Amino acid sequence: MSMPPNRPLPDPRRRHAMLLAGRAAAGLALAGAAGGASALPAVLALPRPVRLALHSAGIDPAHCSFVLRDLRLGTALVDWQSDAPRSPASVLKLVTMYAALNLLGPDYRWRTPVYAIGPLQDGVLAGDLGFAGSGDPHLMAQDLWRLALRLRGLGLRRIAGNVVVDRSAFNLPPHDPAQFDGRPLAPYNVGPDAFLVGFGSVQMHMEAQGGAVRAWTEPPLHGFAPRLPRLEPGACGSPDARLHPDFSQTLAPDLQGSWSPECGEMDWNLAALMPADDFVQAVLGAVLRDAGIEWTGTVVSGRIPPGAHLLSTWESEPLAVLVRDIDKYSNNVMAQQVFLTLALHAGLAPADFGRAAQVVQQWLDAQGLAMPDLVLDNGCGLSRVARISARDLDRLLGAAWRGPLMPEFVASLPLSGEDGTLRRRLGGRLRGMLHAKTGTLDGVLGLAGYLQGDDGRRRSVVALVNDPRAEQAWPALQALLEHG
């Protein structure tokens, strides 16, 4: 990072700075003659501190791409292998979210209608209740509870039939949560669903209370019946040594082992390992009961018939709010929901990943941001297929910075040392100086966003590392940012 403008440099350093400025000017002339930043000289391409940090980590610089650009002047301060298509991990979400903010608009809201499929008389729905999924990425149990209270306000007291869930807005193959990395319980492996409830995940809690072990979930699940561990007094020791849980059945986990009152509360974030209809049934069973609506039927997938009567519609928070959850916490399934919604919004229903990618590519082309090497895959970056170059990410960052939706876009990004996926990263002198999306997979580390230098000027920054030791590249990224 550069020195503040009001602090004079000692003479030797001033001479060195002038030399670098001369090299930069020569490099810019070369870049103009060649028609791109790839012609910049090596001194601007990869700063020595970055190269040394990569060497210390055992990472081959050939496996990396870096761009650092002055946003006001448009000049590249660093440009290293920026044309190489690389795996971006969750940094790819920048493409999906920027396209969504522009194509859908920051105030876009998902609407989930609920229907009476049959007559409602004297408090009894003599038929089924129907939900039409719209791809809402943030439809939570508490939202369904509020919707249930509305239905009770309309006079509904008992549902005589089933609950029909219409998922026809999406056309997706069966999802295997273990396919990507063999971790089916990980919430980041949950697949998209036109009627996604609570990210398809649960938070399970366990603690000793009142002389017994208690376990419960958020959201509450109707039919939750865990096998609890035995309670043993004494020091806790290692909770992992005491407990050997089996979560293969979400409604009936086996929390085998022993537990001490000294262990406090244990929490797990888990994907709901059950069919989507079963999970919705467990959530709705608890929600409707708490809202005072009797229901003993089941959840079934189907189509809402033409004669169904609209009872109410749930409306989501606006996209500008949800995009912050997606980018700051890198929520994969939310990003996929938004990605698929782009196809729906373009009239390409039912939505699939191919149609969503087509919409994004066509929009990028129309904006002068054509990316022939871009592979969007599922739009969230949880992929070994997705590809993008650092140059294309940098072009997108520049367009977003100059565009009217810059405040919404930048505000969605994690802030270094403060929140989201950067809360524990890049503190110290970089704390609060960087808004950037991160991305990590085995063998992949990515970062892209906006850096404020000591001189108050803004830079765009992109770093893509595809190397078996990629996780060790953080010091190199820090050196790149400090160079800015």
Q: Is there a domain that residue 7 lies in?
A: no
Q: Are residues 295 and 207 in the same domain?
A: yes
Helices (H), 201-245: 239-242
Q: Give pLDDT, residue 385.
A: 97
Looking up residue 89, the CATH number of its domain turns out to be 3.40.710.10
**Residue 272 within a domain:** yes
DSSP 81: S
pLDDT value for 211: 83
Boundary of a domain, candidates 284, 316, 348: 316
Question: Strand 120-121 relative to strand 124-125: parallel, antiparallel, unpaired?
Answer: antiparallel
Query: Six-digit token pair at 185?
Result: 């319980």
DSSP 3-state of 121: strand
Q: Is 265 helix (H, G, I), strand (E, B) or coil?
A: coil
Q: What is the pLDDT of residue 44?
A: 55
> Which residue in the block uniquely carries the two structure tokens 């229901």?
295
Indicate whether 22 belongs to any domain. Answer: no
Query: Which amino acid, one-letter code, is at 222?
Result: H
Collect the ranges in the chain with pLDDT lower than 50: 1-43
Same domain membership, residue 142 and residue 66: no
194-236: per-residue pLDDT in tens? 999 999 999 999 998 888 899 999 999 999 999 999 998 888 8
| Alpha-carbon span 426 to 414, nearest angstrom | 11
Among 316, 333, 364, the domain boundary falls at 316
Cβ-in-10-Å burial (0-12, 13-18, 19+) of 330 comes to: buried
Residues 181 and 261 in one domain: yes
> In terms of pTM, does the model score above 0.75?
yes
Residues 80 and 229 occupy one common structural domain: no
| Same domain membership, residue 328 and residue 471 | yes
Whichever domain contains 290, its CATH number is 3.50.80.20
CA distance 6 to 326: 39
For residue 423, the model assigns a pLDDT of 95
Encoding tokens for residue 1? 């990072």
Is residue 63 classed as helix, strand or coil in its secondary structure? helix
- Measured CA to CA, the distance from residue 374 to residue 388 in angstroms comes to 5
Rg (CA), the chain: 26
**Is position 67 within any domain?**
yes
Same-domain pairing of 97 and 135: no
Residue 300 phi, psi dihedral angles, 5° rounding: -130, 145
Strands, E, within 337-411: which ranges? 388-389
* Helix %, strand %, coil % of the chain (to 5): 35, 25, 40
Residues 205 and 248 occupy one common structural domain: yes
- Is there a single domain that holds both residue 418 and residue 397? yes
CB atoms within 10 A of CB 269: 14
Return the ∠ at Cα 53 (arms to 49 and 55), rounded to 5°: 115
Identify whether 16 is part of a domain.
Answer: no
Other Cβ atoms within 10 Å of 19 Cβ, number: 11
275 in the same domain as 143: yes
* Domain closes at, from 316, 334, 359: 316
What is residue 215's three-state secondary structure? strand
Residue 132 has a pLDDT of 98
Q: What is the pLDDT of residue 427?
A: 87
User: How do 124-125 and 158-159 pair as beta strands?
Assistant: parallel
Please indicate, yes or no, if residue 156 is contained in any of the structural domains.
Answer: yes
Residue 361, domain member (yes or no): yes
Range of the domain at 405: 27-106+320-483
Same domain, 98 and 208: no
Which CA distances in Å does 231 have to 215, 239, 261, 449?
13, 13, 8, 50
Residue 401 is encoded by which pair of tokens? 């910075």
**Beta-carbon contacts of residue 470 (< 8 Å; ≥ 6 apart):** 59, 440, 443, 444, 445
- Residue 343 contacts residue 101 (beta carbons within 8 Å): no
Give dist(CA 435, CA 391) in Å, integer: 18
Is residue 213 domain-shared with residue 251, that is, in the same domain? yes
Q: What is the pLDDT of residues 415-459, one digit of tens each?
A: 999 999 999 999 889 999 999 999 999 999 999 999 998 888 999
Is residue 427 in a domain? yes
Q: What is the pLDDT of residue 35?
A: 35
> 414 with 424: CB under 8 angstroms?
no
Same domain membership, residue 230 and residue 361 = no
**Both tokens assigned to 426:** 């890049």
Indicate the number of domains in the chain: 2
- At residue 36, the pLDDT reads 38
